[in-house]
Chains A and B, each alone.
Chain A
Amino acid sequence: MNASLEEFLIARRDTGRSLLVPYVTAGVTPKWTEVVHAYVDAGADAVEVGFPFSDPMLDGVTIQEASDRALAAGTTVRGILDEVATLDVDVPVVAMTYSNLVFQRSAAEFCAALRGSGLRGLIVPDSPLEEVGDLADAAAAEGLDLVLLAAPSSSRARLREIAGRSRGFVYALTRMGTTGEGGEISEQAARLGRELKELTDRPVLFGFGVAGPERAAELADHADGVVVASALMRRLLDGAGAGELGEYVSSIRRALDQGARWAVHPATAPSPTT
């Protein structure tokens, strides 16, 4: 696979497909790489791998618990990278972690290590535009796509800059809050998706609160796809294995595929006479 994360996702999207990016916390179980494979087999377009951090400021209870469990089991950055390097998947794998892990030695060293293990992208939720300079340069030098977050509270000017500087895709937060399931899809999420779509041709994916197939399909109407994290990690923490998680991802895949077909309502489709 030579395409960048962004090229890969754009190619998939341009076939008319809604993009699906499931998440797993590395090290949450000894067999977490099986979960990655199950996601891919179930139709994931990329997989987000969380590198656990002791103080995950933007995560709700589920990802906190998954992170704590992974760290208690002795998960290290080096260990994750070694396991990622053994993955045999045909979609891009994206790292998600916090600034303190990224800037341990230097952003350049961290990005080189990610790329060395075959990762294609990086998401650092506590490095906003203001702090992202060195990291963006380091990622670009390694051919790693640095994904930026956009929030319902972001001004139009910031959204323009985020859309311009993000690589891979733009990570649109459905709500003001932490990661986690539940919550209605608000008008502000729909508006954020529309605004970002106006500003960029990069894929725009919704994350936070994508609680299940219906919610995923609903959200995908307003953007190019979704990231699903807590709904999967909740099931994993409650005992679900790779097989069950794969089935759950399949159900989201089906909902998205149907949603994409239904996206153009007959009443709004161009009339043949015009």
Chain B
Amino acid sequence: MDVMTDPGTTGRFGAYGGRYVPESLIPACHEIEAAFREAWSDTEFRGRLTMLLSVYAGRPTPLTPAWRLSRELGITLLLKREDLTHTGSHKINNVIGQALLAQRMGKRRILAETGAGQHGVATATAAALLGLEATVFMGERDIERQELNVLRMEVLGAEVVPVTSGSRTLKDACNEAMRHWVSSVDDSYYCIGSVMGPHPYPWMVREFQRVIGEEAREQCAAELPYGVPDYVVACIGGGSNAVGTFAGFVDTAARLVGVEAEGGAAATFGRAGVLHGFRSLVLQNDDGQVTEAHSVAAGLDYPGIGPEHAHLRDAGRARYETVNDDEVIRALRRLAHTEGILAALESSHALAWVIRAAESGGIAPGSTVMLTLSGRGDKDIASIKEML
């Protein structure tokens, strides 16, 4: 099947992807694509990345059986523990890769957008590690919701720029980061945090995140009687942890499931559109005005979805489900009680679907489920308190 391959110079995933950016940014996109292609085939670059992911970010992350919850649900649930990486989410995988690339390209500064703040913290961290400056754009509403992550970024030496336009969340932070990038493209590198943006970003970010799926596949092969789980499940905002996870299993018989927040479910309720430099499924009104996403998880408040997910959906290789905020909070608490693991609200979406599907028979008893726990929930404690 022609999925999860190199999208070529046009950056197409089926009908999706592309490079819908102003002419001013086209040379920068070409430069990044050329630099990434060269770096990705350079064993020294790959070696340096692998080394940093290991000694700095804490990879490989374990695959932890959810012993008690598995028994309650009548399935075998395995958790890929991205929450145990340095900075506490899968975002670090992508950011170390892109920061190394920025350094290789001779850039002085890294720009980033952030929703929940995890990508911003990861960017600030990688910038500090490699001696680069970091400027992070964050919606004013997210700044209020994720105060702790703002402080973390500032302590790490990054400048956090509040975005006051539009819905004051992730989509507006993306707009502002793009605007800033246009005017500083000579010395700044835009480090996009998910599988979105103009080509080569959706592909490049997938390649940097595929380490999740590749490790999980090896771990499953070592642990499971048939080597491959029946289900591979991950949450989706833009969809980077899901794409990285799916990349390790796309050529197996495993069923791939992406779980979106009900209020930000572009794969389920979106129509084809162009936003932030790429064509994909987008939540929008009849006139093409992009609508705001709403979710308890700031990291999933995005009205679009990575173009490769739209393609995987159309090709029938992955399916996309939604869960609501209440199910998410219940799932988060249940995992905390049964396993002593405090998952991020984002990751708890994937878990909420597994619980619902297992309890309703949607997942057959005795099935094996590999779920990527994309991040830890410490950042969400204040939000959770409000919801209780």
Binding site for B on A (CB under 8 A): 53-61, 64, 68, 71, 76-78, 98-101, 103-104, 125-131, 148-155, 158, 162, 173, 175-178
Contacts and interface: CB of A to CB of B under 8 A. Distances in A.
Contacts of B276: 55, 57
A127 B24 contact: no
Nearest to B186: A176
A128 B19 contact: yes
11 contacts: A55-B172, A57-B277, A59-B179, A71-B289, A100-B273, A127-B20, A128-B21, A175-B183, A176-B183, A177-B24, A178-B182
Contacts of A58: 22, 24, 179, 182
A177 B182 CA distance: 5
A49 to B, nearest CB: 16
A149 B23 contact: yes
Kindly state the interface size class of chain B when it binds its partner: 35 or more
A98 B20 CA distance: 10
A148 B23 CA distance: 9
9 cross-chain pairs, A with B, having the tightest CB-CB distances, nearest first: A177-B183, A151-B24, A99-B274, A54-B289, A104-B288, A151-B23, A149-B23, A101-B288, A100-B274
Contact of A64 (B165, B171, B275, B288): B165
A57 B287 contact: no
Contacts of B26: 128-130, 151, 153-154, 158
Contacts of B20: 99, 126-128, 131
Contacts of B185: 153, 176
B22 A130 contact: no
Interface of B: 10, 18-28, 165-166, 171-172, 175, 178-179, 182-183, 185-186, 272-277, 279, 282, 284, 287-290
Contacts of A151: 22-24, 26
A126 B182 contact: no
Contact of A128 (B22, B275, B287): B22
A78 B288 CA distance: 12
Given A54-B166, A55-B276, A100-B284, A126 B179 contact: no
Given A100-B273, A100-B282, A176-B182, A150 B18 contact: no
A271 B255 CA distance: 81
A126 B277 contact: yes
A77 B288 contact: yes
A101 B287 CA distance: 7
B276 to A, nearest CB: 7
A60 B22 contact: no
A89 B220 CA distance: 70
A58 B20 CA distance: 11
A200 to B, nearest CB: 15
A173 B23 CA distance: 9
Given A71-B289, A100-B282, A148-B23, 9 more contacts: A99-B274, A100-B274, A131-B18, A151-B23, A153-B185, A176-B183, A177-B179, A178-B179, A178-B182
Contact of B288 (A53, A154, A162, A175): A53
A153 B23 CA distance: 8
A76 B287 contact: yes
Nearest to A78: B287
Interface core residue of A77, A104, A154 (most chain B CB under 10 Å): A104
A141 B162 CA distance: 45
A57 B277 CA distance: 9
A129 B186 CA distance: 21
Contacts of B186: 176
Contacts of B21: 57, 126, 128
Interface core residue of A130, A150, A162 (most chain B CB under 10 Å): A130
Contacts of A150: 23
B289 A57 contact: no
Interface core residue of A54, A101, A125, A152 (most chain B CB under 10 Å): A54
B179 A103 contact: no
Interface core residue of A57, A98, A176 (most chain B CB under 10 Å): A57
Given A126-B22, A131-B18, A57 B179 contact: yes
Given A100-B273, A176-B182, A178-B183, A53 B289 contact: yes
A128 B25 CA distance: 10
Interface core residue of A98, A127, A175 (most chain B CB under 10 Å): A127
Contacts of B290: 54-55, 100
Contact of B19 (A78, A103, A131, A149): A131
Interface core residue of B21, B24, B165, B277 (most chain A CB under 10 Å): B24
Nearest to A152: B24
A173 B24 contact: yes
A178 to B, nearest CB: 5
B274 A98 contact: yes
Contacts of A64: 165
A53 B185 CA distance: 24
Contacts of B288: 53, 77, 100-101, 104
A155 B289 CA distance: 33
A162 B25 CA distance: 15
A58 B279 CA distance: 17
B178 A130 contact: no
Contacts of A101: 287-288
Interface core residue of B18, B171, B179 (most chain A CB under 10 Å): B179
Contacts of A77: 287-288
Contacts of A103: 272-274, 279
A173 B171 CA distance: 25
Contacts of B28: 153
Contact of A55 (B22, B275, B279): B275
Contacts of A128: 19-23, 26
Contacts of B274: 98-100, 103, 126
Nearest to B282: A100
